[in-house]
Amino acid sequence: MDIVERRRCFRGTQLVIRHAAARVGCTMHVAVFLPPQAETSACPVLYWLSGLTCTEQNFITKAGAQRYAAEHGVILVAPDTSPRGADVADAEGYDIGLGAGFYVNATEAPWAAHYQMAAYVERELPAFIDANFRTTGRQSILGHSMGGHGALTIALRNPRAYASVSAFSPIVAPTQVPWGRKVFAAYLGPDESTWQAYDACALVANAEAHVPMRIDQGTADEFLHTQLRPELLQAACQRVGYPLDLRMQEGYDHSYYFIASFIGEHIAFHAEALRL
C-alpha cells in the first residue's frame, strides 16, 4: 500500500492510496476517508462508486461527504472507475474504455484482461480495506450514474454482504438504454442473456433477500428519459414487492451540485442501517 495523498479533514484524515490490484491486473487508486472515531475504534465502511469519466478525486473534492462521515463514524472508500495503464484497453468516446468500467466482469477481448471491476469491488477491495484498516466488518454501498448502476447491481447480487444501498441518478436498466447496450455488447459480447447479471431491474425480479434501497433522481437531469429510466426499476420492484424509496427531486440535474445537496441524508440512511 502506497499513500500518495494525506489531508486532515473534519478531524479525520482523507487518504488516496495506490495498490496493486490482482483482479484488474494494474495499479488502482482508492480514496479512503477515516473519520475521527477510527483513531480509537473500528468503524463500518461505506463504498462510493463514481460515474462515467470520473476518478477517485471527483467524489472526495466535490460531494462534501467527509463532514457527514465524520459525524456518523463511517469510513468512506471511493475507488477509481476503471483500470488504468499503458496496456489497458481503451476506445473512442467517454462512455467506453478508460473511466467507464461499468462495474462488470468483461468476457470479451481486449477488455477481459483488465476490466474486472465487479470482482474488484465485490471481493478484492473489501478484503484490502479490512486488512489495512480497523473495520467492524459491516458495509454499505452507494454511487452515482454508472456508479449508481454498479452499487445497485453489486448489492442485489450480494444482498447479505451489504446493510444498505443507495444511488444518485443511477442507470437502472442498462440492457435497455444506449449507454448500457453499447458497453455490454463490447465487454460481455452479443449474448444478451449474460447481460442480466448487471441489470438492476432483472436482478430485483429474482432477489433472494431485500437490501434497504434509496434512490434520488433529479427531475431536470438531462439523461433522465434516455439513459436512466428510474420508472423501470420502480415498476420492477412493485411487481415483486421489493421495497424502494425513490425520491424525485424537483429541479435538480445530473451534477455534483445534486449529490452535495443530499449526500448527508444518504450517509445518515446508511449509518442507521450499519448500526443495526
For residue 115, CA distances in Å to 90, 135, 158, 187, 206 come to 10, 27, 20, 8, 26
**Residue 255 annotated as catalytic:** no
What is the DSSP track for 107-140? -STTGGGT-BHHHIIIIIHHHHHHHHS-EEEEEE
Residue 112, judged by CB atoms within 10 A of its CB (0-12, 13-18, 19+), counts as middle
Neighbour count for residue 40 (Cβ, 10 Å) = 8
- Region at 135 (left for phi over 0; alpha for psi -120 to 50; beta for the rest): beta
What distance in Å separates the CA atoms of residue 252 and residue 248, rounded to the nearest whole number? Answer: 9
β 75-79/26-34 pair status:
antiparallel
**Catalytic residue among 50, 82, 145, 169, which?**
145
Name the β-bridge partners of 86. Answer: none
**Catalytic residue among 149, 221, 266, 270, which?**
221
What distance in Å separates the CA atoms of residue 154 and residue 162, rounded to the nearest whole number? Answer: 9
- 195's CB contacts (< 8 A; 6+ apart) are 174, 175, 180, 184, 188
**Catalytic residue among 114, 144, 149, 254, which?**
254
> Taking the CA atoms of the chain, what radius of gyration do you get in angstroms?
17
What distance in Å separates the CA atoms of residue 154 and residue 62, rounded to the nearest whole number? Answer: 24
**Residue 193 annotated as catalytic:** no
Task: Identify which of 2, 8, 54, 3 has the alpha carbon closest to the alpha carbon of residue 34.
Answer: 8
**Residue 254 annotated as catalytic:** yes
Q: What is the set of active-site residues?
A: 145, 221, 254
